[in-house]
Amino acid sequence: MNDVPDFVPTAPAGWHPDPSGQQQLRYWDGQRWTDHVSPYPVAEQSASDAAPAAAPAAAPGPASKNPGQKVMTRVTWIVLAATLLIVGGAAGFVGWTVVSANAAATSEAPDVVDGFLAAATADEPSWTQYASPGYIAISGSATPLFGDARAAEVLDLSIEYDRRGILYGTNGTAGYESPSGADTAKALVDMTYTFTVDGTPQTATSTREIWLTRPYYYGDDVPSGARQGETPTAIGPWRVTGAASASAYDGAVVATTSFEPAPIDQACYTSDVVLSQISEIARTEGVLAAVCLSGGTSTSFDDGIDIDALAAGFPVVGQAAPMTDLMGWHNDPNTPAPLEQYLISSGGTDYVFVLASTGVGGELTTDSERRIILISKAETR
């Protein structure tokens, strides 16, 4: 255990990504890391109903692309490793019997999703009451779905939502299983974002998935997924573990935006390309410039930002290891999020870069570009 750093998540007991960086889970007993480790779960799942998976290790950088080449590969980066299993503390939940858990399954998952959505979209700290320990630990100071508070204030950001039904499943899938025997669930949510670009109000809508899991216990206090053919001794409560883009098979997927500037068509199709481009120009030329800046006065700079200092200390941002979106969405070229936020540290100051996806005939499509519409200082909580 000497190789485990002193990092401790703000979370009760449970399985978490190993803080040593090894590709495994390690058990946190609520006070310290234990010697109990486990590989990441591997679930048998179809491509059509798989839960968001743990992000793979960064691969070697891809071959150079022409400036106008689009990245079309579907990549979903989940903010929580081992989403299939990690939902809450161990010993505190063992007392919740199988009977009571199954009786509450149908009502509890919707209540958890509704509570999470109400708090997260309003930037209320109470969202953590409905989230898994891992989701809480990895979100940092930002609120999932909402992002950085200062950036939201500058953008005049407001969020409305309409939750559809909930699908239940086991072992990382969500389909039409009975709620009583499920360890995985997802809710389809139609999100409506209102924000301001260059003084003009914009509206974007997008259907997203909110994923939940709950732990099963089999005679001890170690959380597990549901085991086929075995009767659990206890079942823990549902908790939100992450969010992802919705797929077309889920039904009528909403994806529209009023933000539709003239297209640039120069490698602005993914946020990692946009940020790596601005990083390269800043480090080689000492200026903050990129074709994917929104143009004119459409890229806003928050008060007190020294643009020259930001450019001078701009870090290396590569395409091989995409950054984490503060809003909890994931850089998927096939289903672009209306808004994304990324934390960039330069010269000892944390900045938030806000990117908006552009419309194509009023819709968010694979041809949507990413434009940097705001650079603000991150709010520290």
Q: Using CB atoms within 10 Å of the CB of residue 96, give its burial: 0 to 12 exposed, 13 to 18 middle, 19+ buried.
A: middle
Count CA atoms closer than 13 A to 12's CA, side-chain side: 13
Model pLDDT, residue 247: 72
DSSP structure class, residue 173? B
Give the H/E segment covering residue 273. Answer: helix 271-285
Residue-wise pLDDT tens digits, 14-23: 666 665 556 6
Phi first, then psi: give them for residue 236, nearest 5 degrees: -85, 175
Model pLDDT, residue 177: 77
pLDDT at 246 exceeding the cut of 60: yes
Confidence of residue 3 (pLDDT cuts 50, 70, 90): very low
CA 78 – CA 249 distance, rounded (Å): 20
Phi first, then psi: give them for residue 38, nearest 5 degrees: -155, 145
Domain boundaries, the chain: 91-257, 271-377
With beta carbons less than 8 A apart as the criterion, state whether 296 and 198 touch. Answer: yes
DSSP structure class, residue 91? G
Strands annotated E in 97-174: 158-169
Q: Which of 47, 25, 46, 45 is nearest to 36 (CA)?
A: 25
DSSP structure class, residue 250? G
CA 366 – CA 214 distance, rounded (Å): 34
pLDDT at 12 exceeding the cut of 80: no
Tokens representing 377 are 């200082």
Which residues, 6 or more positions from 367, have their beta carbon under 8 angstroms from its beta carbon? 70, 269, 360
pTM for the model: 0.74
Read off the pLDDT of each residue in 248-256 and give the average, rounded to a whole number: 76
Read off the pLDDT of each residue in 69-92 and give the average, rounded to a whole number: 32
More confident residue, 7 or 138: 138
Phi-psi category of residue 272: left, alpha or beta, with phi > 0 → left and psi -120 to 50 → alpha: alpha
Residue-wise pLDDT tens digits, 149-182: 999 999 999 999 999 989 998 877 777 778 888 8
Read off the pLDDT of each residue in 196-223 and give the average, rounded to a whole number: 91
Q: Which of 339, 345, 341, 355 is nearest to 317 (CA)?
A: 345
Model pLDDT, residue 55: 38
